[in-house]
Amino acid sequence: MPGAVSPLAVPLPPLAPLAGVRLAAGAAGIRYKGRDDLFLVELAPGTTAAGVFTRNKCPGAPVDWCRDALKAGRARGLVANSGNANVFTGRAGREATRASAAAAAELLGCRPREVMLASTGVIGEKLPTERLTAALPGLHAALADDAWERAARAVMTTDTFPKAAVRTARIGGAEVRLQGFCKGSGMIAPDMATMLCFVFTDARIPAAALQAALRKAVGASFNNITVDSDTSTSDSVFLFATGQAKHPRVPAEGGPALRDFTAKLADLLRELALMVVRDGEGARHLVEVNVTGAVSAASAKRVALAIANSPLVKTAVAGEDANWGRIVAAVGKAGEPAERDTLSVTIGDTMVATAGSVVADYDEAPVAAHMRGREVRIGVDLALGRGKATVWTCDLTHGYIDINGSYRS
Amino acid sequence: MPGAVSPLAVPLPPLAPLAGVRLAAGAAGIRYKGRDDLFLVELAPGTTAAGVFTRNKCPGAPVDWCRDALKAGRARGLVANSGNANVFTGRAGREATRASAAAAAELLGCRPREVMLASTGVIGEKLPTERLTAALPGLHAALADDAWERAARAVMTTDTFPKAAVRTARIGGAEVRLQGFCKGSGMIAPDMATMLCFVFTDARIPAAALQAALRKAVGASFNNITVDSDTSTSDSVFLFATGQAKHPRVPAEGGPALRDFTAKLADLLRELALMVVRDGEGARHLVEVNVTGAVSAASAKRVALAIANSPLVKTAVAGEDANWGRIVAAVGKAGEPAERDTLSVTIGDTMVATAGSVVADYDEAPVAAHMRGREVRIGVDLALGRGKATVWTCDLTHGYIDINGSYRS
């Protein structure tokens, strides 16, 4: 699906080597021709690992594999491919994960359960494991500390630009680094896409604390974005801590020592999550939905997601139409406490509706100008309580239909 | 928004006079030029009335009016307009309903609360009540028993064809008639559309029994369709019983006497509901989703709606692509009990996936032929229990984007 780069694309930041991480990417010929589709990562001994995975009840075989393997909280390797998601592949899928992990473990000198796996691409087709395992020795021989961009590109599917972000954080006065990349365009598009995210840090963090930090940070980032409301069978976010940085010991329960680390991790994940929305299939506008005054934060999030997932709101944004009526209707359909006669709607910085009706004679010029921009902000205040939430989405355009509905035209 | 008639359109059935009902439609100039946009119905003294309305928390003023007025279970008149939904119009909206009902009541010689109201069209703009009330005397003078088609056309918005259905039912051995029409194209499209349905019968049914029958029938029809998952602020289904037919008395609680009537009513409503889907904005395929083997009927319905609302499933149908992977993914995201390794997927009459993976060497020819047809059947068996549900939707096409997202292009 070769297409123009998203108008919302952002450039790749410089990706420096990170102690304890070596990578290699290459072309295994799993499905695509003439491009990288596989990467291998070697992690230093002692690396701890955490993961957050899709809530989809029909997860891919790699998700099952990693959920189980991560119980030990350790990783020495990571193998990821594009072109085939290894989802709904039954026993063959489970065998493919075992064989892939075993082949990588053999090369890396570790146990298979210390190898994490991620796959993205077509659903329901048997993963050509032999092509993947045949390519691994070459990748192992090529491992280097500077192959970050190639790895980020190797797992792209309908993505139109590679996505990476970096942060530094402090643990007990010492500086540690965080560096990660992700792929994703539709929240799910089984023929083409899913969301995979790989984050690495040189910090030394016990597995339990690492998992807690990741879960918290994902809750504040990837769980607040939606492209098309379709939850992938393969969504995975990994966090690996190589333990190569020098800093005071982090206790098993994490706690205050990880406060800055967790905040920076959430910040990094939010940047990556927004890149996924910026590369949402067919996206031409990035949309931020802020809901305030809800009865709780959970209620605010459900209202915000109802707005962000509304096809009518999303097509209105595509048409650069400040259609606040559709926003009110989406609030109403969320099923959450909301009072028609107290809520207000803001587009950009202009309040367009309040107290149950349109703001008489609001200035349409700044609203129209805001809608013509690439980044649209929608605010809804329910005036019922103190719950608030922010979610991000993109518009729904002809591009989405082209990518997902026009295979045969 | 003049467009071609939906390729899924069905013809209008013959609409004969129904004892106790007189109608008139005309052009009030509420928003559209050169077409009917208003109708008035006069109902015989003694007519009982029932209604089922949107669950949207931000309903239009007419919905508020009718919910209140229907507590008495009586109606002598009905006024409906297109072009303006009278939604999110604050105090002005409430005043508009009072003034409209009062004007019609004056003409019909009844109390304002015996006049039901329905509006569809743009949200957030003040209803030009004076144009509506100015047109009513002319309509009253023109009341006739044969203006059914004109009334059905007067409330069309993005609809591409008028929608009506008729049935006969038996009450205690005597025959009664049911005749209704509806409008709707997007489940909601505040600038243009909503779903309104008006059903009339010559039966003599106490209000409580009428309301119970309507609620049950709506649950088996309109509540099982989705075009774009957006619930309108104005959705309304009315049922009026003029009491002109001769049949044994129906008790207040309804009961066995109304068994056939309720079944035929549900059947009529299902036919109308399917017409709405057939006229779904941009629809080119009607999709029936059957879920079986769920742990309960409610669970089956949630799974079926997850499939029917999935943009990826809907775009796949638009592309005539038998993308069963997206169906599996939609099942998984529903959050309902489902086992990847026991579920099976059928497209048309062909099982394409079962027991956790694709059916090896299934015959693709009948599947491809089925997808090229206008009516697509998707079956999912969860193999967990006996819960089942059927919902209907349409595909998601460029037409939907054109109608809803291209106002300014």
Give the tens place of pLDDT for each residue, A93-105.
999 999 999 999 9
Here the tokens at position A80 are 């990821």
Contact assignment for B338 to A233 by CB distance below 8 Å: no
pLDDT for B3: 64
In this predicted structure, the answer to whether residue A408 has a pLDDT above a threshold of 60 is no
**Residue B149, CA distances (Å) to A238, A360, B22, B29, B39 in order:** 61, 38, 12, 19, 11
Q: Which residues of A289-310 are buried (b: 16+ CB within 10 A; e: fewer)?
A: bbbbbbbbeebbbbbbbbbbbb
Select from B149, B122, B279 the least CA-distant residue to A329.
Answer: B122
Interface list for B 28-67 with A (CB within 8 A): 55-59
Return the closest-CA partner of residue B124 out of A358, A367, A313, A362: A358
Query: Which B residues, 158 through 197, put their C-beta within 8 Å of a C-beta on chain A?
Result: 186, 188-191
Cβ–Cβ < 8 Å for A329, A303: no
Q: Is the Cβ pair B407, A58 closer than 8 Å?
A: no
The stretches of B256-372 forming alpha helices (DSSP H) are 259-278, 297-309, 311-318, 324-333, 364-372
Q: Would you give the DSSP letter of residue B256? A: G
d(CA B202, CA B205): 9
How confident is the prediction along chain B (409 residues), in pLDDT tens digits per residue? 446 899 999 999 999 999 999 999 999 999 999 999 999 999 999 999 999 998 888 889 999 999 999 999 999 999 999 999 999 998 999 999 999 999 999 999 999 999 999 999 888 889 999 999 999 999 999 999 999 999 999 999 889 999 999 999 999 999 999 999 999 876 543 343 478 999 999 999 999 999 999 999 998 888 888 777 666 788 899 999 999 999 999 999 999 999 999 999 999 999 999 998 899 888 999 999 999 999 999 999 999 999 998 998 999 999 999 999 889 989 988 989 998 889 999 999 999 999 888 998 899 999 999 999 999 999 999 999 999 999 999 999 998 888 888 653 3
Domain ranges of chain A: 21-278, 286-405
Token code pair at residue B17: 């006079």
Look at residue A224 in the predicted model and tell me its pLDDT.
82
For residue B299, which residues of chain A lie inside 8 Å, CB to CB?
none
SS3 at position A395: coil
Q: Contact A338/B58, CB-based, under 8 Å?
A: yes
Q: What is the ipTM of this complex?
A: 0.82
Q: Is A346 a catalytic residue?
A: no
Burial class (CB in 10 A: 0-12, 13-18, 19+), A400: buried
Task: Find the mean pLDDT for residues A83-90.
Answer: 91
- Displacement of CA B29 from its chain's centroid (Å): 25
CA atoms within 13 A on the CB side of A135: 20
Cβ contact (<8 Å) for A397 and B405? yes
Report the percentage of chain A scoring pLDDT > 90. Answer: 78
Q: How far is A365 from chain B (nearest CA, A)?
A: 15
Residues of chain A with Cβ-Cβ distance to B396 below 8 Å are 311, 401, 405
Q: Which residues pair with B205 in a beta bridge?
A: none
Closest C-alpha among B207, B193, B168, B227 to residue B72: B207
Task: Compare all CA atoms of chain A with the CA of B232 and give the residue at the minimum distance.
Answer: A329
Q: Do A88 and B353 touch (CB under 8 A)?
A: yes
> What pLDDT score was predicted for residue A2?
47
Question: How many residues are given for chain A?
Answer: 409
Of B324, B355, B404, the CB nearest to A315: B404
Q: Phi and psi of B53, rounded to 5°? A: -125, 165
Q: Which residue has the tokens 């229990």?
A: B385
Q: Within 10 Å of residue A34's Cβ, how many Cβ atoms?
A: 7
Predicted pLDDT of residue A191: 40
- Contact call for A57 and B336, based on CB within 8 A: yes
Candidates A119, A157, A323, partner chain B, best to mutate (most B CBs within 10 A): A323
Q: Which of A88, A229, A284, A347 to mutate to test the interface with B (most CBs of B within 10 A)?
A: A88
- Confidence (pLDDT) at A226: 75
* Set of chain B residues whose Cβ sits within 8 Å of the Cβ of A122: 325
Nearest to B397 among A310, A357, A401 (CB): A401
- Report d(CA B66, CA B50) in Å as an integer: 10
d(CA B87, CA B191): 11
Backbone angles phi, psi at A378, to 5 degrees: -115, 125
Residue B197 pairs with which residues in a beta bridge?
A: B182, B237
A221-241 residue pLDDT tens:
888 887 776 667 888 999 999
| CA dist., res. B375 & res. B286, Å (int) | 5
- Minimum-distance CB partner of A405 among B90, B315, B343: B315
Residue B14's Cβ-count burial label (10 Å; 0-12, 13-18, 19+) is exposed
Q: Supply the pLDDT for residue A189.
A: 37
Chain B contact present for A87, CB below 8 A: yes
Q: Which of A130, A102, A113, A136 is nearest to A24 (CA)?
A: A136
- Catalytic site residue from B194, B226, B233, B350: B194
CB neighbour burial string for B233-263, b if at least 16 within 10 angstroms, e if fewer = bbbbbbbbbbbbbebeebeeebeebbeebbb
Q: What is the pLDDT of residue A360?
A: 87
Q: Decide if A225 contacts A264 (C-beta within 8 A).
A: no
Question: What CA–CA distance (Å, rounded) separates A340 from A335?
Answer: 13
Q: How many CB pairs under 8 A join A and B?
A: 248
Task: Give the 3-state secondary structure of A163-218.
Answer: EEEEEEEEECCEEEEEEEEEECCCCCECCCECCEEEEEECCCCCHHHHHHHHHHHH
Q: Which residues of A touch B321 (CB under 8 A)?
A: 405, 407-408
User: What is the CB-side half-sphere exposure of residue A203 using CA atoms within 13 A?
Assistant: 37
* Neighbour order of strands in the sheet with A357-358: A225-226, A387-394, A286-294, A375-381, A344-347, A350-354, A357-358
- CATH fold for domain A286-405: Ubiquitin-like (UB roll) (3.10.20)
Residues 6+ apart with CB under 8 A from A58: A87, A88, A233, B328, B329, B331, B332, B338, B340, B343
Query: What does the alpha-carbon distance between residue A80 and residue A136 come to, in Å, rounded to a whole number?
Result: 11
A401/B318 Cβ within 8 A: yes
Looking at CA atoms only, how far is residue B149 from chain A in angstroms?
Answer: 30
Cβ-defined contact of B404 to A320 (cutoff 8 Å): no
What distance in Å separates residue A5's CA from the closest CA in chain B?
Answer: 21
Tokens linked to A28: 């295994």
Helix (H) or strand (E) holding A265: helix A259-278
Separation of alpha carbons A104 and A41, rounded Å: 10
* pLDDT value of residue A3: 64
Question: Residue A193 — very low, low, confident or very high, per pLDDT cuts 50/70/90?
Answer: very low
B21-278 CATH fold: L-amino peptidase D-ALA esterase/amidase (3.60.70)
Cα distances from A239 to residues A145, A264, B38, B107, in angstroms, run: 18, 13, 62, 73
SS3 category, A258: helix
pLDDT for residue A62 is more than 80:
yes
Beta-strand pair A115-122/A174-183: unpaired
Grouping H, G, I as helix, E, B as strand and the rest as coil, residue B246 is coil
